[in-house]
Amino acid sequence: MRFISTQALRDWLDTLARQVTLIAPVETEIGEAPGLANPPASGMNTLYQPVSSADEIAWDFRRTVMSAREFLFPKTETLFTIETNPTGKKTLHETKMEGQQVIFGIRPCDARGLRVLDAIMLEQKPADVYYAQRRRNTTLVGLSCPEMWENCFCTSVGGAPNSSDDVDILLTQVENGYAVEIVTEKGEKLAQGIPLQEVEGLVLPEPRLNEPFETPTEQQWLNSFGDVYWERVGERCLSCRACVYVCPTCRCFDVRDETVVDSAGGRIMRRVRSWDSCQGVNYRTVAGGANPRANPDQRSRNRFFCKFYYVPTDYNVPFGCVGCGRCIAVCPVNIDISEVLRDLAQRGEA
């Protein structure tokens, strides 16, 4: 079993931060403002952010507020620009991603989230070239969770707090350092620079697990679609969209053009895409004003079905949800995906 001491890891990360864009969990001011009624629990106020040294990393973090998807699918991204010079000549320039990035400390659930996004963005043809570029240029160094925390349910959707399935390297904390599992070729390549020791008899701690539960079958989902249950779940929804923004697998986006006229009389147009959410009131409103999902219960039903029925049906993944629990933590009115799953799974087959 391979091992790296804490100090050697920190030294390596300091070096790595000078070679690539190093992204890691960082503590933030979320929860510090005195008026905040519901500050996040300990270790839950972090965000994945670029860092320039190991000192900036929140080593005791539990779960970040936002997932890691923004580094492969940014909140805002310029797709291309078209410059028109004063004579009218147009030049189109597609955005390219330069350089490599390493996401250090990504939790297995967030890495699973990227796997789900891969199925949608890459495997479903035609592929999204922007996501593809970033994916190629990204290496994931995962960090096992010592336990499952409040709202976590990864084990109920095919995941585990110490799963190495979707990362390139997996670290698990042990005494004085970390056990290192090299998972993929990309991980092997990155590991060239890491001073690893071979250690005999290293015992990895078993993470403390939450009680798993059954998720509904495909038939139970289908049977429930027209049920008034969804009205009861959705009527308290504020359509605040927070659940979507913190989710590791959501990928709906909006596209807009912006134009800037420069001083010489030329114009630059850029087409941007930004995160959007099916929970928004006007998400499906068409020109002319009709809105097929005008009620919040139709919208929240769409989200649950998307995660557990549409995505598994349309793409090559068993679940569209990774069980990270962020949406449960962030929902102001306690619309709880695990409660919905339990409720549906308990209904009869018929």
Partner 1 sequence: MIEELRAKARELLESETVECVIGYEVGPTGRVRPVFVYEPDDVDRLVFNTRCDHNLVTYLNRRNKPRKRGEEVPTTGILVKPCDARSLQVLLNENQVQRDKVTVIGVACPGMQNADGTPEARCLRCNQRVPLLYDALFGEPPEVSDIADTYADVEEIEALPREDRLAYWLSELDRCIRCYACRQACPGCFCDVCESERDDSLWIGITDAIPEKAFFHITRAFHLAGRCGECNACEMVCPMGIPLSLLNRKIVKEVEQTMGGYHAGLSEEPTPLVTRLTGEEDIDEIH
Partner 2 sequence: MTEENPMRPYLGTLVGTKELATNIRLFQIELNDPVEREKFFVWRPGQFLFFSALGVGEAPFGFSNIPECGPAIEVAINNVGHVTRHIHMLPIGSTVGIRGPMGNHFPMDEIKGQNIVVLGGGIGGAPLRPVIQYILSHRADYGHLTIIWAARSPDLLVFTDEYDEWGSAPDTEMHVTIDRPAEGWTGNVGLITQILEQVAPSPENTATITCGPPIMIYFVGKTLGKLGFSEDQMLITLEARMHCGIGKCGRCNMGEKLVCLDGPVFRQSEVSTFLESFL
Binding site for partner 2 (CB under 8 A): 79-80, 82, 90, 92, 94, 96, 120-121, 124, 126-130, 132-133, 222, 225, 251-259, 267, 269, 271, 273, 276, 278, 283-288, 292, 302, 305-306, 309-310, 313-314
Edge-first strand order for the sheet with 90-94 is: 90-94, 76-84, 267-275, 253-261
Report the candidate in 133, 76, 98, 88 with the shortest Cα–Cα distance to residue 271: 76
**Residue 308 interacts with, from partner 1, partner 2, none (CB under 5-8 Å by kind):** none
**Residue 333 interacts with, from partner 1, partner 2, none (CB under 5-8 Å by kind):** partner 1
Task: Give first-to-last CA distance, the chain, whole Å.
Answer: 50
Question: In angstroms, what is the minimal distance from the CB of 6 to partner 2?
Answer: 40
**Residue 75 interacts with, from partner 1, partner 2, none (CB under 5-8 Å by kind):** partner 1
Return the H-helix or E-strand segment holding 17. Answer: helix 6-19
DSSP state at residue 262? -
CA–chain centroid gap for 81, Å, is 27
Q: Is the dihedral angle over the CA atoms 40, 43, 49, 51 positive or is it negative?
A: positive
**Residue 130 interacts with, from partner 2, partner 1, none (CB under 5-8 Å by kind):** partner 2
**Residue 37 interacts with, from partner 1, partner 2, none (CB under 5-8 Å by kind):** partner 1
Closer residue to partner 2, CB minimum distance, 71 or 309: 309
Question: In angstroms, what is the minimal distance from the CB of 1 to partner 1?
Answer: 38
**Residue 347 interacts with, from partner 1, partner 2, none (CB under 5-8 Å by kind):** none
Decide: 135 and 163 in contact? Cβ < 8 Å. Answer: no
Q: Is the dihedral angle over the CA atoms 32, 34, 36, 40 positive or is it negative?
A: positive
Measured CA to CA in angstroms, residue 313 lies from 40, 128, 157, 305, 308 at distances of: 35, 20, 15, 10, 9
**Residue 280 interacts with, from partner 1, partner 2, none (CB under 5-8 Å by kind):** partner 1
Sequence-distant (≥ 6) Cβ neighbours of residue 38 within 8 angstroms: none
**Residue 171 interacts with, from partner 2, partner 1, none (CB under 5-8 Å by kind):** none
Is residue 296 reached through a cis peptide bond, with omega within 30 degrees of 0 on the bond before it? Answer: no
Closer residue to partner 1, CB minimum distance, 204 or 252: 252
Question: In angstroms, what is the minimal distance from the CB of 219 to partner 2?
Answer: 13
Edge-first strand order for the sheet with 177-182 is: 46-51, 21-27, 101-106, 138-143, 169-174, 177-182, 2-5, 197-198
Distance, CA of 144 to CA of 211 (rounded, Å)? 18
Question: In angstroms, what is the minimal distance from the CB of 343 to partner 2?
Answer: 19
Question: In angstroms, what is the minimal distance from the CB of 186 to partner 1?
Answer: 29
Question: In angstroms, what is the minimal distance from the CB of 239 to partner 1?
Answer: 5
Give the pair of three-digit tokens for residue 188: 């092997």
Closer residue to partner 1, CB minimum distance, 13 or 335: 335
Question: In angstroms, what is the minimal distance from the CB of 341 to partner 2?
Answer: 18
Sequence-distant (≥ 6) Cβ neighbours of residue 207 within 8 angstroms: 144, 145, 146, 147, 148, 160, 161, 162
Closer residue to partner 1, CB minimum distance, 30 or 183: 30
Question: In angstroms, what is the minimal distance from the CB of 241 to partner 1?
Answer: 5
Decide: 326 and 67 in contact? Cβ < 8 Å. Answer: yes
Interface ranges with partner 1 (CB under 8 A):
28-40, 45, 65-66, 75-76, 232, 235-236, 238-242, 244-246, 254, 256, 258, 272, 274-277, 280, 282, 296, 330, 332-334, 336, 339
**Residue 60 interacts with, from partner 1, partner 2, none (CB under 5-8 Å by kind):** none
Question: In angstroms, what is the minimal distance from the CB of 292 to partner 1?
Answer: 16
Closer residue to partner 2, CB minimum distance, 130 or 149: 130
- 169-174/138-143 β-pairing: parallel
